[in-house]
């Protein structure tokens, strides 16, 4: 099929999956309902109203079992399947909210990636991931913040960005009461701060990892793969954030993250966040073996070697 991004048309390959019907949003249905915030269009007015709640940060429906919040009753109802274990992975025991998400999750165990980018050969488990990836090649950022004009290649990033303006952190950890602006940040926090579970094992050396991203980066050390290439020069990188840092430093493409206290500039938002901890003497990383606290996860990791 062809995917049209802006003025560019890109051919992508995939093998059809009967459980993937929700992954193909590109159809010929008229979409008369326009979101005035991000210009996304919808078939039904009800879909537009549901979408507009993501910009407003309105999460009115709370789960009584884990206190996650959702913008619609339907999203909450789907989420409750996680607690009922209706769609449970037989490989790792993870519970998903729908059969479709279970199908996609199983690919993390099987390694199946049916969606391929014809520009660089990279493969993906979902067509939506492929569409987002192609925007790296064409440089398209269709989702714009109406408050600061910052643009994003993914609508989810815009939704998370809006919480910078609203200060909303709807995802709360029940173990330490920390709050987060996105569900993925909360899950990452729980996995790294409160759990020793490592469900992802390396096929080369058997090392275990807490997330598929960590495993993926580790596998590159075995294969030597550098899938992220600079469009200006011949440099290639293992991770996308390394490519972004290179584009900023070597080709002046992108935006620096500046400390408002000392004006030090950083190529990555995470590095700025760690730097700000030092200004405020904030030490959010606590040793599980003793009362010591640290500014960064790396410092805590080094300290744990003592124990």
> Which pLDDT score, from 0 to 100, does residue 289 have?
81
The confidence band for 10, taking pLDDT boundaries of 50, 70 and 90, is: low
Average pLDDT in the 180-193 region?
80
- 92: Cβ contacts below 8 Å, ≥ 6 apart: 109, 199
> Which pLDDT score, from 0 to 100, does residue 26 have?
44
Residues forming beta bridges with residue 172, ordered by sequence position: 179
**Sign of dihedral through CA atoms 116, 122, 128, 132?**
negative
| pLDDT surpassing 70 at residue 4 | no
Average pLDDT in the 22-35 region?
58
Give the predicted TM-score (pTM) of the model. 0.38
87 three-class SS:
strand
> Is the separation of the CB atoms in 232 and 240 below 8 Å?
no
Average pLDDT in the 100-124 region?
87
CATH code assigned to 259-307: 3.30.160.60
What does each C-alpha distance from 23 to 14, 131, 145 come to in angstroms?
Answer: 11, 11, 25
The confidence band for 14, taking pLDDT boundaries of 50, 70 and 90, is: very low
Q: Which two tokens stand for residue 28?
A: 């010929």
**pLDDT of 33-49, one tens digit each?**
777 666 677 788 778 77
Average pLDDT in the 148-173 region?
79
Residue with tokens 């159809």: 27
Measured CA to CA, the distance from residue 300 to residue 307 in angstroms comes to 11
Query: What residues does each domain of the chain span?
Result: 259-307
148 alpha-carbon distance from chain centroid: 22
Phi, psi values for residue 296, rounded to 5°: -130, 155
Measured CA to CA, the distance from residue 230 to residue 115 in angstroms comes to 22
**pLDDT of 210-243, one tens digit each?**
777 788 888 888 888 888 888 889 899 888 888 8
């Amino acid at each position: 099929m062809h995917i049209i991004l802006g003025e560019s048309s890109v051919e992508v390959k995939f093998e059809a999956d009967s459980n993937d019907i929700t992954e193909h949003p590109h159809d010929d249905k008229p979409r008369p309902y326009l979101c005035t915030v991000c210009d996304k269009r919808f078939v039904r007015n009800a879909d537009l109203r549901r979408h507009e709640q993501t910009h407003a940060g309105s999460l009115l429906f709370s789960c009584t079992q884990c206190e996650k919040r959702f913008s619609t009753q339907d999203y909450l109802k789907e989420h409750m399947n996680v607690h009922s274990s209706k769609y449970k992975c037989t490989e790792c025991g993870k519970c998903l909210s729908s059969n479709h998400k279970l199908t996609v999750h199983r690919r993390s165990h099987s390694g199946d990636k049916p969606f391929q980018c014809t520009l660089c050969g990279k493969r993906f488990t979902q067509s939506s991931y492929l569409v987002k990836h192609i925007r790296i090649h064409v440089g398209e950022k269709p989702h714009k913040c109406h408050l600061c004009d910052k643009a994003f290649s993914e609508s989810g990033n815009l939704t998370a960005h809006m919480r910078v303006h609203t200060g909303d952190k709807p995802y709360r950890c029940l173990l330490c009461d920390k709050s987060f602006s996105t569900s993925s940040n909360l899950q990452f926090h729980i996995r790294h701060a409160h759990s020793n579970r490592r469900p992802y094992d390396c096929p080369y050396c058997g090392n275990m990892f807490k997330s598929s991203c960590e495993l993926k980066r580790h596998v590159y050390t075995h294969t030597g793969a550098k899938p992220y290439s600079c469009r200006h020069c011949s440099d290639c990188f293992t991770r996308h954030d390394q490519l972004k840092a290179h584009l900023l430093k070597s080709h002046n493409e992108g935006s620096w993250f500046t400390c408002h206290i000392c004006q030090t500039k950083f190529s990555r938002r995470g590095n700025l966040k760690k730097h700000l901890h030092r200004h405020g003497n904030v030490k959010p990383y606590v040793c599980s073996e003793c009362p010591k606290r640290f500014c960064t996860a790396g410092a805590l990791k080094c300290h744990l070697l003592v124990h």
